[in-house]
Protein backbone atom coordinates (compact mmCIF):
# COMPACT_ATOMS: atom_id res chain seq x y z
CA UNK A 1 0.00 0.00 0.00
CA UNK A 2 2.81 2.40 0.90
CA UNK A 3 4.52 1.63 -2.40
CA UNK A 4 1.39 2.57 -4.34
CA UNK A 5 1.06 5.85 -2.44
CA UNK A 6 4.73 6.68 -3.02
CA UNK A 7 4.65 5.66 -6.69
CA UNK A 8 1.49 7.47 -7.70
CA UNK A 9 0.55 9.84 -4.88
CA UNK A 10 3.49 12.22 -5.20
CA UNK A 11 3.10 12.29 -8.98
CA UNK A 12 -0.63 13.07 -8.56
CA UNK A 13 0.15 15.94 -6.15
CA UNK A 14 2.63 17.40 -8.64
CA UNK A 15 0.11 17.18 -11.47
CA UNK A 16 -2.50 18.80 -9.22
CA UNK A 17 -0.12 21.70 -8.57
CA UNK A 18 0.39 22.10 -12.33
CA UNK A 19 -3.37 22.13 -12.88
CA UNK A 20 -3.77 24.82 -10.17
CA UNK A 21 -0.99 26.82 -11.86
CA UNK A 22 -2.82 26.73 -15.19
CA UNK A 23 -6.03 27.90 -13.51
CA UNK A 24 -4.22 30.64 -11.60
CA UNK A 25 -2.56 31.93 -14.78
CA UNK A 26 -5.97 32.41 -16.44
CA UNK A 27 -7.83 34.02 -13.51
CA UNK A 28 -8.10 37.72 -12.75
CA UNK A 29 -8.54 41.03 -14.54
CA UNK A 30 -6.23 41.04 -16.39
CA UNK A 31 -5.05 37.44 -16.01
CA UNK A 32 -1.29 36.83 -15.60
CA UNK A 33 -1.16 35.06 -18.99
CA UNK A 34 -2.22 38.31 -20.66
CA UNK A 35 1.30 39.59 -20.02
CA UNK A 36 2.04 38.28 -23.52
CA UNK A 37 -1.16 39.61 -25.14
CA UNK A 38 -0.99 42.17 -27.95
CA UNK A 39 -1.24 45.86 -27.00
CA UNK A 40 -3.25 48.57 -28.72
CA UNK A 41 -3.40 52.32 -28.25
CA UNK A 42 -7.04 53.40 -28.35
CA UNK A 43 -8.81 56.74 -27.94
CA UNK A 44 -10.92 57.37 -24.84
CA UNK A 45 -14.57 57.92 -25.80
CA UNK A 46 -15.97 58.44 -22.28
CA UNK A 47 -14.41 58.55 -18.83
CA UNK A 48 -16.72 58.77 -15.85
CA UNK A 49 -16.99 57.73 -12.24
CA UNK A 50 -19.91 55.36 -11.65
CA UNK A 51 -21.55 55.13 -8.25
CA UNK A 52 -23.69 52.07 -7.62
CA UNK A 53 -25.56 50.88 -4.50
CA UNK A 54 -24.03 47.92 -2.72
CA UNK A 55 -26.53 47.31 0.06
CA UNK A 56 -27.78 48.68 3.39
CA UNK A 57 -27.33 52.26 2.17
CA UNK A 58 -23.67 52.07 1.13
CA UNK A 59 -22.36 52.84 -2.33
CA UNK A 60 -19.43 51.75 -4.43
CA UNK A 61 -17.48 54.06 -6.73
CA UNK A 62 -15.74 52.65 -9.81
CA UNK A 63 -14.10 54.20 -12.87
CA UNK A 64 -15.71 53.59 -16.26
CA UNK A 65 -13.59 54.28 -19.32
CA UNK A 66 -14.94 53.32 -22.74
CA UNK A 67 -13.11 53.08 -26.04
CA UNK A 68 -14.18 52.33 -29.59
CA UNK A 69 -13.59 48.62 -30.16
CA UNK A 70 -13.07 47.16 -32.71
CA UNK A 71 -11.50 50.16 -34.37
CA UNK A 72 -13.73 52.17 -36.72
CA UNK A 73 -16.79 50.10 -35.76
CA UNK A 74 -18.61 52.79 -33.80
CA UNK A 75 -19.21 50.39 -30.91
CA UNK A 76 -18.10 51.52 -27.46
CA UNK A 77 -16.68 48.96 -25.04
CA UNK A 78 -15.75 49.50 -21.39
CA UNK A 79 -12.18 48.64 -20.42
CA UNK A 80 -12.17 46.00 -17.71
CA UNK A 81 -9.56 45.52 -15.00
CA UNK A 82 -8.82 49.21 -14.48
CA UNK A 83 -8.29 48.77 -10.74
CA UNK A 84 -6.99 45.83 -8.76
CA UNK A 85 -9.52 43.84 -6.76
CA UNK A 86 -8.28 45.38 -3.50
CA UNK A 87 -8.65 48.93 -4.89
CA UNK A 88 -12.15 48.63 -6.33
CA UNK A 89 -14.76 50.84 -4.75
CA UNK A 90 -12.22 53.47 -3.62
CA UNK A 91 -13.67 56.82 -4.72
CA UNK A 92 -10.34 58.70 -4.65
CA UNK A 93 -8.58 56.13 -6.84
CA UNK A 94 -11.51 56.07 -9.27
CA UNK A 95 -11.52 59.86 -9.61
CA UNK A 96 -7.73 59.98 -10.06
CA UNK A 97 -7.86 57.32 -12.78
CA UNK A 98 -10.67 59.07 -14.66
CA UNK A 99 -8.82 62.42 -14.38
CA UNK A 100 -5.71 60.83 -15.93
CA UNK A 101 -7.63 59.90 -19.10
CA UNK A 102 -9.71 62.84 -20.35
CA UNK A 103 -12.02 62.53 -23.34
CA UNK A 104 -10.05 62.09 -26.57
CA UNK A 105 -6.78 61.04 -24.93
CA UNK A 106 -4.95 57.83 -25.80
CA UNK A 107 -4.94 54.80 -23.52
CA UNK A 108 -2.79 51.69 -23.90
CA UNK A 109 -4.75 48.45 -23.46
CA UNK A 110 -4.21 44.71 -23.80
CA UNK A 111 -6.42 42.71 -26.08
CA UNK A 112 -7.45 39.64 -24.05
CA UNK A 113 -9.95 37.18 -25.57
CA UNK A 114 -10.87 39.83 -28.12
CA UNK A 115 -11.73 42.52 -25.54
CA UNK A 116 -9.70 45.51 -24.30
CA UNK A 117 -8.35 45.23 -20.74
CA UNK A 118 -6.26 47.58 -18.68
CA UNK A 119 -2.53 47.36 -19.34
CA UNK A 120 -1.43 46.58 -15.78
CA UNK A 121 0.06 43.51 -14.14
CA UNK A 122 -1.04 41.81 -10.92
CA UNK A 123 2.35 40.84 -9.50
CA UNK A 124 0.87 38.62 -6.78
CA UNK A 125 -1.20 36.64 -9.29
CA UNK A 126 1.78 36.27 -11.60
CA UNK A 127 4.09 35.17 -8.76
CA UNK A 128 1.42 32.75 -7.51
CA UNK A 129 1.05 31.11 -10.92
CA UNK A 130 4.83 30.87 -11.39
CA UNK A 131 5.33 29.40 -7.89
CA UNK A 132 2.65 26.76 -8.44
CA UNK A 133 4.09 25.88 -11.84
CA UNK A 134 7.64 25.52 -10.53
CA UNK A 135 6.62 23.55 -7.45
CA UNK A 136 4.33 21.33 -9.52
CA UNK A 137 7.13 20.61 -11.97
CA UNK A 138 9.55 19.74 -9.16
CA UNK A 139 7.05 17.54 -7.31
CA UNK A 140 5.89 15.77 -10.50
CA UNK A 141 9.51 15.23 -11.57
CA UNK A 142 10.36 13.77 -8.17
CA UNK A 143 7.23 11.60 -8.42
CA UNK A 144 8.35 10.27 -11.81
CA UNK A 145 11.83 9.44 -10.51
CA UNK A 146 10.34 7.75 -7.44
CA UNK A 147 7.87 5.85 -9.61
CA UNK A 148 10.74 4.44 -11.69
CA UNK A 149 12.87 3.66 -8.64
CA UNK A 150 10.13 1.68 -6.89
CA UNK A 151 9.21 -0.53 -9.86
Q: Is the pLDDT of residue 89 over 80?
A: no
**What tens digit of pLDDT does each residue of 90-132 get?**
788 888 888 989 898 999 999 988 889 888 888 888 999 999 9
Residue 1 has pLDDT above 80, yes or no: no
Q: Give the global pTM.
A: 0.72
Q: State the virtual CA torsion across 130, 131, 134, 137 in degrees, nearest 10.
A: -110
* 151 and 93 within one domain: no
Q: Residue 85 has what pLDDT?
A: 65
Q: Answer with the residue of higher pLDDT: 79 or 89.
A: 79
Question: What is the pLDDT averaged over residues 124-150?
Answer: 92
Whether 133 and 88 map to the same domain: the answer is no
Among residues 112, 110, 111, the alpha carbon closest in space to that of 120 is found at 110
What CATH number does residue 98 fall under? 2.40.50
The three-state DSSP-derived secondary structure of the chain is: CHHHHHHHHHHHHHHHHHHHHHHHHCCCCCCHHHHHCCEEEEEEEEEEEEEEEEECCEEEEEEEEEEECCCCCCCEEECECCCCCCCCECHHHHHHHHHHCCCCCEEEEEEECCEEEECCCCHHHHHHHHHHHHHHHHHHHHHHHHHHHCC
Is 9 in the same domain as 66? no
Range of the domain at 17: 1-28+122-151
For residue 84, is pLDDT > 80? no
pLDDT digits (tens, 9 = 90+) for 40-77: 999 899 999 988 888 888 888 888 899 988 888 888 89
Q: Looking at the 3D structure of the chain, how many domains does it have? A: 2
Residue 86 has pLDDT above 70, yes or no: no
Return the pLDDT at 33: 85
- pLDDT for the residue 55: 81
Q: Answer yes or no: do 104 and 42 share one domain.
A: yes
Amino acid sequence: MLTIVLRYGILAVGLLFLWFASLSARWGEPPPLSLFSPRETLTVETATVVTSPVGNGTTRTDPAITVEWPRDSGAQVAISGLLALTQRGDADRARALVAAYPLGSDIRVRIVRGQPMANRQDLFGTAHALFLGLMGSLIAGFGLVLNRALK
